[in-house]
């Protein structure tokens, strides 16, 4: 268990120390409480919460107000890891001014220590402005889910020479703009390794192989709380969804059978000194 909150300089220092950065998402107070006593370095309130907690088809409908409410809930349960708020679709694309204002909401209203936003070269000016306002920014390149329609689906990026070159350039632009770390999502492992060697800021991979400076997963995926298609890069470390369903079925059975609540789950009081039940006043 950590004893001091993780800071941005500490994350930057991991590049030189070689100690891998661990990051996970969280979307509410209960999951934050679960992660807080662990040694996880970064907790991201990712816009993936739109899918795992709000039931949207993708991350595009998630609003700033939803992200702020969820980040605030996580903040209340999290005291050790670096808390990063994910800027939702259209909260940073319209103008640099709006982006800075929305990034500021994560810090001021939700208690985040940093923000993350998607995009490489085209987002560099925005990243520089947010960093200029004193807010640490984590970049996110490769398979950026907010661009799902542009990509035509959730496809691995950087498979051609030109795409790979663009993603390498994206990484350099974000480093130059002042990002303190880069999420590399859905790119070939070799390309992630080249970028990791090329930039001085830490890279945090998801579906980007083992050569990054750290790894991030969506907590619901890791715990086995998601149904349906599981991408190749996800490792389900537990099957809590199945376990939870089993527990609920067991509860239903016991209530139907009358074996729950048992005596130990019920309150008893001694009634010896109560008046005898007689007449109309027995209640
Ligand atoms: O929204 C999210 O959870 C993310 C991570 C997968 C990096 O962006």
The class level of CATH for 8-222 reads: alpha beta
Question: What is the chain's length?
Answer: 283
Residue 46 alpha carbon to ligand 1 centre in Å: 5
In the structure, what pLDDT confidence band is assigned to residue 6 with cuts at 50, 70 and 90? very high
Alpha carbon distance, N-terminus to C-terminus of the chain: 55
Contacts of 267 (CB under 8 A, 6+ apart): none
Nearest protein CA to atom 4 of ligand 1, as residue: 46
Interval between CA 48 and ligand 1 midpoint (Å): 6
Q: Enumerate the domain spans of the chain.
A: 8-222
Instruction: Say if residue 1's pLDDT is above 60.
Output: no
- Decide if 154 contacts 135 (C-beta within 8 A): no
Q: Is the CB of 186 under 6 A from ligand 1?
A: no
Q: 203-208 long-range contacts, Cβ below 8 Å, gap at least 24?
A: 203/171, 204/21, 204/23, 204/42, 204/138, 206/233, 207/143, 207/156, 207/231, 207/232, 207/233, 208/142, 208/184, 208/233
- Cα 232 to the center of its chain, rounded Å: 19
pLDDT (tens digit, 9 = 90+) per residue, 252-280?
A: 999 999 999 999 999 999 999 999 876 56
User: Per-residue pLDDT for 281 more than 70?
Assistant: no
For a ligand 1 pocket test, name from 53, 183, 184 the mutation site with the most ligand atoms within 8 angstroms of its C-beta. Answer: 183
Q: What's the CA-to-centroid distance between 138 and ligand 1, angstroms?
A: 11
Of 92, 119, 123, 145, the residue with max ligand 1 atoms within 8 A of its CB, to mutate for a pocket test, comes to: 145
Ligand 1 pocket, residue 49 CB under 6 Å? no
Contact 48 CB / ligand 1 (< 6 Å): yes
Please indicate whether residue 125 is annotated as part of the active site.
Answer: no
Residue 11: which of 171, 140, 198, 200 has the closest Cα? 200
Give the pTM. Answer: 0.95
Catalytic residue among 118, 175, 185, 194: 185
**3-class SS at 280?**
helix
Q: What's the pLDDT at 39?
A: 97
pLDDT digits (tens, 9 = 90+) for 224-256: 999 988 999 999 999 999 999 999 999 999 999
Mean pLDDT confidence for 71-77: 98
Measuring from atom 2 of ligand 1, which residue has the nearest CA? 46
Query: What DSSP string runs through 91-120?
Result: SSSS-HHHHHHHHHHHHHTT--SEEE--BS
Run of H or E including 254: helix 240-257
pLDDT tens digits, one per residue of 110-154: 999 999 999 999 999 999 999 999 999 999 999 999 999 999 999
User: What is the model's pLDDT at position 4?
Assistant: 83
Backbone angles phi, psi at 29, to 5 degrees: -60, -40
Q: Is 64 in the pocket of ligand 1 (CB under 6 A)?
A: no
Say if CB 127 and CB 179 are below 8 A apart: yes
CA nearest ligand 1 atom 8, residue = 46
């Amino acid at each position: 268990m950590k004893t001091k909150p993780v800071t941005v300089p500490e994350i930057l220092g991991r590049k030189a120390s070689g100690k891998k950065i661990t990051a996970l998402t969280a979307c509410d107070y209960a999951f934050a409480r679960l992660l807080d006593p662990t040694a996880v370095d970064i907790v991201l309130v990712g816009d993936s919460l739109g899918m795992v907690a709000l039931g949207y088809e993708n991350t595009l409908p998630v609003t700033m107000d939803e992200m702020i409410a969820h980040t605030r809930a996580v903040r209340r349960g999290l005291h050790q890891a670096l808390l990063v708020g994910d800027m939702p679709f259209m909260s940073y694309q319209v103008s640099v001014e709006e982006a800075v204002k929305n990034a500021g909401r994560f810090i001021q209203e939700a208690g985040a220590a940093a923000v993350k936003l998607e995009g490489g070269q085209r987002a560099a000016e925005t990243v520089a402005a947010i960093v200029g306002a004193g807010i640490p920014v984590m970049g996110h390149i490769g398979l950026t889910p907010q661009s799902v329609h542009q990509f035509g689906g959730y496809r691995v990026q950087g498979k051609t020479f030109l795409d790979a070159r663009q993603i390498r350039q994206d990484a350099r632009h974000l480093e130059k703009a002042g990002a303190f770390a880069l999420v590399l999502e859905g790119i070939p492992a070799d390309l992630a390794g080249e970028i990791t060697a090329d930039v001085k800021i830490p890279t945090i991979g998801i579906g980007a192989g083992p050569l990054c400076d750290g790894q991030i997963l969506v907590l619901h995926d890791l715990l086995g709380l998601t149904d349906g298609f599981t991408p190749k890069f996800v490792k389900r470390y537990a099957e809590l969804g199945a376990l939870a369903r089993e527990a609920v079925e067991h509860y239903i059975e016991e209530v139907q059978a009358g074996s729950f609540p048992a005596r130990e789950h019920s309150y008893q009081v001694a009634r010896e000194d109560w008046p005898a039940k007689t007449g109309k006043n027995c209640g």
